[in-house]
Each structure stands twice: as structure tokens, then as C-alpha cells.
Structure 1
């Protein structure tokens, strides 16, 4: 109780143990902040996965764009991909860009088609990321239907910058093959010859064309024969791809394709799942299956294909993927909280145990020191007695030995005297009778 006028005493300083416990109890707040950051990062990663699946869809699907006369046709592909024109049509249709009667439009449909449309679109937009083309009859040659409104229809794909390219000369066989669980997707193909490419399929004796002679119908032929299959064989000749060049010109086929995992290609085009495998029948499409020549399937690109398959699964089942992700995050947080609680609760017990152990160690050390001192005292007392005894022995032994030696010397002298007296007496006794005898 405080009396009036007396200042309040300062708060008692907290012990280091309480401060340590406070520091150990503080981390749950930091853990909550970490949890919020994890949720934000994971949401960003989920959106990134969704964007990536959309990116793959744009690369695999066919895109269509059209524009009427006087408008601009806009073609655009995502990053790291370019435009690959599949087909182009410039003409008249009663359903688009026209105010005329349908009957009159149907009569002009067959004649109002520009044959140079595909080549013009290829020159302007092929292998470009974005293309803006003005739709006008003058762009595509002479106007076959003056006064009628026409439109431009273009079908294209967005091909990745990294594709598999293959070139096969005329009268040779094209072989396309993908590894297990992957299927072919054809992006572009052309049959003929370019004037700049003189070294391809050239022996030096054939005739070179004065201009590029290419047939882009090879794309439709290969797509029809090879799309959605694991392997494909086609003979490169004029019978299959036509003859776009002059006689005597050595032609070749160039193909740009990719091997797409089955799950992704099926998600984009469900009709692929209904296609018959290319090896189901022997000698189908010019393929002969030889079991003796089969080899172990190589595992190149397994990690990439598995990751793409995972993206396809997430795209097909977003709710399930989100549920699994949140469940894993919750389990991880629960394990982290359990570890933190165990650490906070057990630290104090460990500290008390350590202190008790230190007290026991100190007590045992003191007892050992006391016992050592007692032993030293006993040893010192025991050592003093032998020293005194040895000192006594050292002092008494010389005196005892000198007295004994004197007595022994006296005894020897007495013995010698007795012996001498005996010899003397014995000598006198023997001499007396002799003297007496002579006397008598």
C-alpha cells in the first residue's frame, strides 16, 4: 500500500529466465505473419500455374481470326512463340460482312476466291509474334467480284520457339517418333524448294528454281496422317504432296513438330483420345512393327513431361488441386505449431533439469574435494610415522653396531688370552718331567 506523497517504486527487474520464455512465446505472432505470406505466395503460384496452363492451351489449339474489307486483321501469339499459318481464305460469304441477299451471295461464292491469299498471309505473318494486315482486294490480286464485300479468314497456330525440325529429301521416307505417353503435333510443313537454300538435298547436277516453289498443303497432309499419333511414316514424293516446282528440280520436305504429353493434348483436343494407335495394325500407314527390334523405352524428358502432366491435371481439376494444396499447407502448419509448443514447454523443464544436474555436479565435486583432503591428511600422518621410525632406526643402528663390535673385540681378546695361557701351561707341564728325568 502506497502512502500519499511517496513515489511509486520502480518495477522489479524481470529475470533472464522470464525474458527467455517471453522470447520463446513471441514466435507464434511471427508464425501467423509467415502463414499469411505463405498463403499470398501460394495464391500467386496457383495463378501462375493457371496462366501456364493457358499458355500451353494457346500453343496447342488452332486459332481463327477474320476481318472484313477495310479492317485490319490482327494475329498475335504469347511470348516465346510465333505465328504458324495453317490456312487462309479471302472471298465472299453471305453470313459475314455483307448486306446483300443470301441467294445472290451463293451464286458468287465459288468465283470470289483469291488463290494468292495463303501465300500473301505467309509472307506477311509467318514466324512473327504479331501481325497486322490490312484487308483489301488490292492486296490479294485482281478483284474477282467488284462491288461485293469480302472478308479474310485465317487459321493459325502459335508454335514455340524451340521445336523439332526435320528435313527429308524427295523420294525418301519421313519418320516422326515420340517417346512413351507423348503424341505428335504438327505446327508447320512445306514441300518444295527455296532459292536461298542451295545446300539442302543438292548434288550439284539438279536444276535450281529461279523463285521459291513451295506447297503448303503438306501441312494438311501431315496433320491428317500424323497428328495425335506416337509415330508416323510418310514417303516424300509428288504423289502425296504435289509438284509445286518445275520438272527436274530436287524438292524436299521441312517439318516443324513437337511431342506433347497425352494428358495435355487430350485436354485440349478430346478427339485425340478416340484416335486409334498408329501401331495397332501392322503395316498401317507404311509402318511395320518388329517386336524383335524393339528396345527399352528411353526416359529422356521424364521430369518435363511429368510437370506438364501435373499442370494439365491442375487445369482439369482446379477445385481438387486447391483442396489438396490447402490440406498440405494446413498439415505443415499444424506440425510446425506442435514443434513450437513442444519446444516452448520443454525448454523450461530442460533448463530446470540442467540446473539440478549442475547442483548435483557441484555437490559431488565438493564431496570429492573433502574426501581428497581427508585422504591427504591421513597420508601425511602415515608418512610421518615411518619417517620417525626410519629416523630412529638410522640413529640407533650405528650405536648398536659399535657396542656390539666392542664386546665382540673384548671377547676375542679374552679368548686369545685364554688360549695363550693354555698353551703356555701345557708347555711347562711337558718340560718339567723331562727335566726331572734328567735330574734323576
Structure 2
């Protein structure tokens, strides 16, 4: 991964490497030599908290200004370090901007080294992005991608991102928008803004909540496109191509693409699996169009869908 720093500006006083999940705190002073932050092999950095500025009078020399913090510093440090085995930092105005001119600033980094399998296994992780704050970057390790478990934009807690009595506010389309941005990507940016989701509750500070897992790129996935809805774009990361295991156009359950009561679950368009294979196999991206004009109509009056089982494999064959 690209490092934050190329030139001068930090002295990071590192504590010894730990293999457990014990929280560590390190400091990096402005105008000092750059330093690499490392976790042991098969471990990754989990950023607990971080900032660039000054919140102590006697850290990195003395200064009476102890209320100076760059607004975007946590997200920048997370973008560089989160879920990485190592990362480099630069305590520099060039990276973070200058929140207090004439004051020597520093980076404070609270982190832990986690075994990689706890990040990339079945554990669900949760991240938040607050409205009116710097967008939050979600990052999985190399060769892993984000699988969205659940997400919304709105407010479901009174004391998240400040306090508000309204805790029943949720944008209806937020899950699909967040999925479109993050699903099966190595990283994505969460921008909590009405321009993205609309405003489900005027005058209330809202936030994004994202529950996700980091899964191997090669893991089998399912793509679904519903009849009478927009086409669905299926994409693998750069350097990977789709391998289509199976698929169909029709209906095999009562709940997928639910709109009104369905009674038929044995409706499969003849040859639809082969058409999906011809459309998507060995491609980095393809469009799924759930339409009778594409596959024929195996059951009139029944709302149908495409269900395609596929994986993303390295594109070297």
C-alpha cells in the first residue's frame, strides 16, 4: 500500500511488538524522521483512535496550546494503516493540513495488533461515519473484499454522532446505495451526506452504520437481479475475472425479490444458466438484466429473478 510519507517529519516512539490484542500507544513528532509501524507476521493493525495536532502541553516539546486537532486526521491514518501488517506515518501539515499555525504538532496512534484471521474470518465488524465529518474509509487486507451484512444511513441511537431524541430515522434506499459502493470491493469510502441518500429526517444529524466482513476474493458469491427493477452490474476487482458456477432466471423460493404473494417456486427458464455463463464467465464485469425478453417467460404472472453463483479468480488463465 502507498505510504503516507515520503519525506521528513516524524519520530515515532514505538513500544515493543506485541502479538496479543493489547492496546498500544505511539507518538510521532512533527519535524522528525519518518518511522514504519509494524505488527508481527500474520497480524494486522487495528486503529483504535488517532489524531494529528496537540492535546498535551509537554508532548514533543512544550506549548501552551493543547486544544489543536486536525479534523480529518483519524480517517487519513486509518486509510494508511487499518488492516495492514505495517504502515508509515508522516506528522506533517502537508498530509493533514495545519490546525494550529506556529505550534509543533504530533500524531498520537492508539492501536492493537490482531491475528489476521480475526479480521478476515467470519467475525462481523461494524464501522460508523457521521454526517458533517470526514468520510470514513473501510479497508480489508490484500486479497480480501468487503461483504456487506447490513447498513443504513439515518439515526437509530440517541447518542451516536452527538445526541438527538430522534432515533427512528432511516433512509429507505441506503442499504442498496452502500452495497453498490462497497460490496466485494477491497476498500470503499462512506460519505454520510444527504446528497448521497436524501434526507430522511430534517434537522437531525445522521450517520452511516455498516456491518461487514472481509472475505477472500475467491469465495463463492451470489448475485441477484429482480424482474421489474434496474439492471445489476456484477464486478470483480482489477486482475480478477468471474467464474460462473451456476445460475438461472425464474423463481425457486417465496421470499427473493418479494413484492406480492408468490405461490410458484419451481420456475426455471430453460437454458438460462448457459446464457449467464456466456454473458459473465471470464469477464471482469457484466450486466444482469432480469427480463423475459432476455430469457423467455417460464411462468407467466410470476415475478422472476436472476440468481447467479460465481467467484472472482485471478485473471491469469
TM-score range with shorter-chain normalisation? 0.3 to 0.5
TM-score w.r.t. length of structure 2: 0.37
Higher relative contact order (CA 8 A, sep 6+): 2
Higher Rg of the two aligned structures: 1
